[in-house]
Amino acid sequence: MKKETTTAYPINTLIENRWSPRVFGTEAISEEQLRVLFEAGRWAPSSNNHQPWVIIWGIKGTEAYDRIYSCLDEFNQSWANNAQALMLGGYKKTTPDGKDNFHALHDLGLFMGNVSVQAQQLGIALHQMAGVNYKKAMTEFAMPDNYHIATATAIGYYGGDLDKLSDDLQEEETKLRSRKSQHSFTFNGDFNEQIFEK
């Protein structure tokens, strides 16, 4: 299944064709393929080159996969077992000298941006999730308090059986993609909340 993207300006086709399915093909994802994605992420920019990101991953059929799955919220558990791999995205909250790293979450986002483009180039789909019990994940994977689990990601090839999803999720899966207009969030001057909220 392919989704159409109506862009206002021409953009890279890897970005244009990327979307976040909740059902995936049955082809396995290998550690080697994940390592390619992580290598792309590794070269993302980061504040002061601290590279604060932490990735915990598991391939379907392994204990690590099941442990990650157990940390997802109930809604995401309803479909995420379609994925061939799961991962958690976290970051270190402090700099090497112990100060707050206010840019760490931004850096994790840049890491995932690289991963997303690399995955698309390989025909691999990602669905990133905010619905993760981060406290449980921190405990489950023995992470110290100066780290934080921010997101989870389902990974698999595009193409899957929609019948594996509930009716409401099938509708979500097939509806048209949409985004806010650039003019609602870009300002050549003062911010305007009324425009932003439209």
pLDDT tier for residue 170 given thresholds of 50, 70 and 90: confident
Residue 31: Cβ within 10 Å count = 11
For residue 184, being part of any structural domain is answered with: no
Question: Residue 137: inside a domain, yes or no?
Answer: yes
Mean pLDDT across 173-193: 89
Tens digits of per-residue pLDDT, 36-95? 999 999 999 999 999 999 999 999 999 999 999 999 999 999 999 999 999 999 999 999
155-169 average pLDDT score: 86
Residue 162 carries which DSSP code?
G
Q: Establish if 67 belongs to a structural domain.
A: yes
Q: Are 159 and 135 in contact (CB under 8 A)?
A: no
Asked whether residue 140 is domain-assigned, the answer is yes
Residue 154 lies in a domain: yes
Which pLDDT does position 1 carry in this prediction?
64
**How far is residue 52's CA from residue 55's CA, in Å, rounded to a whole number?**
10
168 or 145, which is more confident: 145
Residue 6 lies in a domain: no
Of 4, 25, 48, 2, nearest in space to 176 by CA: 4
Report pLDDT digits (tens) over 102-122. 999 999 999 999 999 999 999
For residue 41, give Cα distances in angstroms to 52, 133, 185. Answer: 12, 24, 27
How many domains, in total, are found in the chain? 1
Alpha carbon distance 89, 151 (integer Å): 5
Instruction: Measure the CA–CA gap between 94 and 99, rounded to whole angstroms.
Output: 5
Is residue 53 situated within a structural domain?
Answer: yes
Residue ranges making up the domain that contains 99: 18-169
Q: What is the CATH number of the domain that holds 102?
A: 3.40.109.10
In a domain, residue 176? The reply is no
